[in-house]
Amino acid sequence: MFNLTKLKIAARIPAHIINIVDNNGHVRSTFLMSTLSHSHVIQIAKSVIPPLHHGMHKGQAGRVAVLGGCQEYTGAPYFAAITALKVGADLSHVFCTSSAATVIKSYSPELIVHPVLDSLTAVTEISQWLPRFHSLVVGPGLGRDEQLLEIVSEVIQKAREQQLPIVIDADGLFLVTQNPDIIRGYTNAVLTPNVAEFDRLYERVLGTKQDPSEPIAMAKELSKQLGHVTVVQKGSHDIITNGDKVLVCSEEGSPRRCGGQGDLLSGALGTFLFWSKQAVDSNNESCGIDQCGYTLCAAYASCSLTRLCNKMAFRENGRSTTTTDMIAQISKAFITLYEKN
């Protein structure tokens, strides 16, 4: 085991060098890190958030789609979709199996739920909706049914053709591990593996096990081998890289790791990816997003928000903290990070 405490400086101060130290106090790895401080990246994130005004119409702040949800797993797509709304998207859709739709609808009247994922015409029906969306979140509650995975593979290809930003998590990562080419070279995609998912994906793509003493180097190498797809390696510190640039998010969270926390991150990313890409597409150079890239900016903003939600929820609920408690903190956490001077 390695102590990653010193990774904090990469996100907190304009540090050039960062060390990873083993439990005996010996420096095992030294990395040249981004010179962007935590406050600098947060400021960039603030600048891409669309200001609210009375002239806006429904949909301008984001239309996000979640691809996932089956009979066994209905909570995950709900967590992702409702988070996209709570962060600030205007509309949030869920494309799930017919057996999951009624359950997911019952969780919230604010979600638009399509019971088509297991239909014979799933690819056609979902593809017709894709031009209306600003981002796609793939994987929460998807399951590993071969037919569903084949459908999702085809939908990802359709989304790529339209240059739609894609977040891939959970069983979506299982799909990528089975066939890395479905996402290889698509730089509008963000993968969000946890430790176990990262290990499996790394071994599949590079043909060898990763070196846990070199987490940043391993994340960068995986991203490069996938054609500079952005990778968010979740852990005690979140390592975010496109193979060239690296950001490390060490916003304080809590010791509590509740099921569904990753779905919250995925939903937040769905919204922030649109906002960040919109800043790039509008040539908003003043926001400074070119300093880190739009996918890294969105990922860092989402990781910071998720961690602060976790911290706030844990402060109130302690060991009994669940993802529902974290979602209840999104408004306060968002204001703290992105709306206070």
Q: Is 262 annotated as a binding residue?
A: yes
**Tokens linked to 88:** 């600030």
Q: Is 22 annotated as a binding residue?
A: no
Q: Is 227 annotated as a binding residue?
A: no
Q: Is 46 annotated as a binding residue?
A: no
Q: Is 12 annotated as a binding residue?
A: no
CB 158 within 8 A of CB 127: yes
Measured between alpha carbons, how far is 44 from 121 in angstroms, rounded to an integer? 42
Q: Is 259 annotated as a binding residue?
A: yes
Q: Is 194 annotated as a binding residue?
A: yes
Q: Is 261 annotated as a binding residue?
A: yes
Question: How many of the other CB atoms lie within 10 Å of CB of 54?
Answer: 4
Q: Is 141 annotated as a binding residue?
A: yes
Distances (CA, A) of 51 to 47, 48, 296, 336: 9, 9, 21, 16
Q: Is 258 annotated as a binding residue?
A: yes
Measured between alpha carbons, how far is 106 from 102 in angstroms, rounded to an integer? 6
- Side chain identity at residue 303, one-letter code: C
Nearest to 45 by CA among 32, 36, 54, 53: 36
Q: Is 255 annotated as a binding residue?
A: yes
Q: Is 237 annotated as a binding residue?
A: yes
Measured between alpha carbons, how far is 224 from 229 in angstroms, rounded to an integer? 7
Q: Is 270 annotated as a binding residue?
A: no
**Tokens linked to 299:** 């990922």
Q: Is 199 annotated as a binding residue?
A: yes
Distances (CA, A) of 154 to 168, 188, 226, 337: 14, 17, 19, 37
Nearest to 70 by CA among 92, 91, 95: 95
Q: Is 195 annotated as a binding residue?
A: yes
Taking the CA of residue 110 as centre, how many other CA atoms within 13 Å lie in the half-sphere pointing to its CB? 17
Q: Is 196 annotated as a binding residue?
A: yes
Q: Is 267 annotated as a binding residue?
A: no
Q: Is 198 annotated as a binding residue?
A: yes
Measured between alpha carbons, how far is 190 from 187 in angstroms, rounded to an integer? 8
Q: Is 307 annotated as a binding residue?
A: no
Q: Is 274 annotated as a binding residue?
A: no
* Numbered residues of the known binding site: 141, 194-200, 234-238, 253-263
* Numbered residues of the known binding site for (6S)-NADPHX: 141, 194-200, 263
* Numbered residues of the known binding site for ATP: 234-238, 253-262
